[in-house]
Amino acid sequence: MPPVNRQYPVRAASSESKYSVMEFVREFPDDESCLQWLWRTRYAEDGMRAECPKCERRRPFHRVSARPAWDCDYCGHHLHPTAGTIFEKSSTSLQLWFYAMFLISQTRCGISAKQLERELGVTYKTAWRMLNLIRNQLMDDQEGEPLSGDVEVDETYHGGKPRAKALRDRTGNLDKTKRAVVFGMVERGGRVRATHLPNAGGVTIKRQIGEHILPESMIFTDEWPTYRGLDKTYIGHRRIRHKDRVYVQGDVHTQTIEGFFGLMKNGIRGTYHAVSHKWLQGYLNEYAWRYNRRYDPQSMFHSLALRAAL
């Protein structure tokens, strides 16, 4: 066995990790390394030359010592690597921002603002703001290519449990309008979209399906009447009759999307306890984002950081 260098921990090949904390610390030991990374990723691949908007051509740039910026050697134009990113107007250290992205991408079920506050040593308000910006701006997958292939579609309801009485109408039936509608679509073996909808009306639901699923797809749903008529727009529509206690009939089922909903609900319950309707979409983004990258060879941290650099 070769001697092990204890001063240089290496990630075990058999580890599930794609990027360990030691690798993070080596890549981003300080604020300057984070700024350099943004500079190279956003403007100057070689760290030296970038497109100068004033000269309208590639020019050598030099680091300005007093500010987090680089200046054009020819015209003196400043380029700020944090301009237009979520880090731009923040007084929080860049390294703490990067470490927050690292922590969020490392967990399976998410991290609470309270824990982020403890890990980073920032105020609760700052931790909460960072978490929200990362969730809402970096983890939003809604704009990607529409889903296709075999796509399961289902809806679920979030919240309202503590005030169950208030959710019932005079006849004692559950008034679903008072709970948040979470609408989910998932490609079997592929990507998921989860959206907080204002209501579960037919028009709203069908617009979502039309926006996010290509017509050359096979749709799987339950027998809810709202889903009627999808066979006219899609190559096929198979429905499972949950009312008759049938859950799987050959390949006709909605187990994949129900599995995602289960994961999300357990995660929210375990990590965040209660989520108000106002912030629900951010949490949905987070769970969908993680699910969509479960097979990526790239570390979740780098995929978050690259999104931040867009």
Residue with tokens 């990590």: 271
d(CA 104, CA 29): 18
Q: Which two tokens stand for residue 130?
A: 């960072």
How do strand 180-187 and strand 192-197 relate by DSSP bridges?
A: antiparallel
Compute the least distance from the CB of residue 88 to Zn ion, in Å.
21
Compute the least distance from the CB of residue 37 to Zn ion, in Å.
23
Collapsing DSSP to helix, strand or coil, 38 comes out as: helix
Mark residues 208-247: x for contact with Zn ion by CB under 5 A, - for none. ----------------------------------------
The footprint of Zn ion on residues 49-88 (CB under 5 A) is: 52, 54-55, 59, 72, 74-75, 77
Phi-psi region of 274 (alpha: psi -120 to 50; beta: other; left: phi over 0): beta
Nearer to Zn ion, 22 or 55 (CB): 55
Compute the least distance from the CB of residue 79 to Zn ion, in Å.
9
Residue 285 contacts residue 141 (beta carbons within 8 Å): yes
Compute the least distance from the CB of residue 76 to Zn ion, in Å.
7
Nearer to Zn ion, 35 or 52 (CB): 52
Nearer to Zn ion, 78 or 129 (CB): 78
Q: Which stretch binds Zn ion (CB under 5 A): 44-52, 125-133, 264-272, 287-295?
A: 44-52
Which ranges of 107-168 does DSSP label H, i.e. alpha helix?
A: 113-120, 124-133
Q: How many CA atoms lie within 13 A of 148 on its CB side?
A: 6
Nearer to Zn ion, 38 or 52 (CB): 52
Compute the least distance from the CB of residue 48 to Zn ion, in Å.
14
# residues near Zn ion by CB under 5 A: 8
Compute the least distance from the CB of residue 73 to Zn ion, in Å.
8
Q: Which stretch binds Zn ion (CB under 5 A): 10-18, 48-56, 105-113, 185-193?
A: 48-56
Nearer to Zn ion, 25 or 55 (CB): 55
d(CA 72, CA 87): 22
Q: Which stretch binds Zn ion (CB under 5 A): 10-18, 46-54, 201-209, 281-289?
A: 46-54
Nearer to Zn ion, 10 or 75 (CB): 75
Nearer to Zn ion, 55 or 246 (CB): 55
Amino acid residing at 152: E
Compute the least distance from the CB of residue 43 to Zn ion, in Å.
12
Nearer to Zn ion, 58 or 125 (CB): 58
The CB density around residue 268, as the number of other CB atoms within 10 Å, is 21
Nearer to Zn ion, 59 or 191 (CB): 59
DSSP 255: H
Compute the least distance from the CB of residue 22 to Zn ion, in Å.
39
Compute the least distance from the CB of residue 74 to Zn ion, in Å.
5
Going through the chain in order, the beta strands assigned E by DSSP cover 49-52, 57-64, 69-72, 78-79, 150-158, 180-187, 192-197, 218-222, 236-240, 248-249, 252-253
d(CA 78, CA 161): 53
The CB density around residue 263, as the number of other CB atoms within 10 Å, is 16
Residue 32 contacts residue 81 (beta carbons within 8 Å): no
Interface ranges with Zn ion (CB under 5 A): 52, 54-55, 59, 72, 74-75, 77
